[in-house]
A and B are shown apart, each in its own frame.
Chain A
Amino acid sequence: MEKIYKIIGLVKEGNLVVMEGGLSTAEQTELIETTMREIDVEDDVENFIGIDINTLDKDSSSFFGFLKKKTVITVIGPADVVKTVEKQSNFLSMVAEINKNES
């Protein structure tokens, strides 16, 4: 699960990771488990408290004509950086506080 460690590493550095498409169920589960192992409650200054995951999905019809959600974009960021998220069927808006430790 190199992909998951890479995502967590980037997010822990304060980055927002924007991915085309989505994560598989196994990857989503691994992401939550890894996040829980990485949460640090000892360091009061720059502690990692977890992640925020948001996706933009669109309806896509399968071979049999059933409507199915397909993830177009996935945005993963540090939970203390992502402030507000607004989601509609074809619209994802996020407000993040970047470089909060440099101000």
Chain B
Amino acid sequence: MGFFDFIRNLFKNKQKVSIGLYGHPNSGKTTLANTIASDSFGKNIGLPSNVPHETRKVLKQEKVVIKENGKELSFDIIDTPGIATKVDYKNFLEYGLEVDEAKDRAKEATKGIIEAIKWLEDVNGVLLVVDAIDDPLTQTNITIIGNLEARNIPFIVVANKIDDPKANADKIVSVFPQHTVVPISALKKDNIEELYKEMFKKFN
């Protein structure tokens, strides 16, 4: 690599944007990561599941590009394991897992949560994915937002699963009035364009 390539790469790396997907287990982070990745290059990056803590290791996809009004935003997606304050292996038994399998999943989930928290030091933008069916005012969401504010990391609250009749995106807007909230369905790709528009504003 020549000297000029080195200088060019140096500046390229400085402009690199890493967007972390954070939130509770089963809030739809991996589904959203897949939606964004498939819009970018037609491929999923993870396996979504109804069983909580399906993502137990950080999944990273580099060079994802979204387009809006002829402009491009290039970034890396960091799909993190769901953050929780409790992990009970017995909950996994309800999904048909064997006891040993459930215990292994619980052990991996606890490590994944620690890993997700550590990654807060390495992202420079966050999509906080909130399940619009559940109460958004949880300790997990409060802790994530507190960390983002303390580190000056720009973020968007993504009210996911609005395709569900029980979803209440207005409640999320009312709970976080000082933050940008975008209601979407990652599964049905509802309102994704609006999310991209906000991502351009926040992370460009």
Interface residues in chain A, defined as those with a beta carbon under 8 Å from any beta carbon in chain B: 25-26, 28-29, 31-33, 35-37, 39, 41-42, 49-55, 79-80, 87
Contact = CB atoms under 8 A, between A and B. Distances in A.
B137 A36 contact: no
A29 to B, nearest CB: 6
Contacts of B89: 41
A33 B114 contact: yes
A32 B88 contact: no
B107 interface: yes
Interface stretch (B5-13, B42-50, B143-151, B187-195): B143-151
A42 B103 CA distance: 8
30 contacts: A25-B143, A25-B147, A25-B149, A26-B150, A28-B143, A28-B146, A29-B117, A29-B147, A31-B85, A32-B83, A32-B113, A32-B117, A33-B113, A35-B85, A36-B110, A37-B110, A37-B114, A39-B86, A39-B106, A41-B89, A41-B103, A49-B87, A49-B88, A50-B87, A50-B88, A52-B85, A53-B139, A79-B86, A79-B88, A87-B137
Given A50-B84, A51-B85, A32 B110 contact: no
Contacts of B140: 32
Contacts of B179: none
A56 B187 CA distance: 35
Contacts of B137: 87
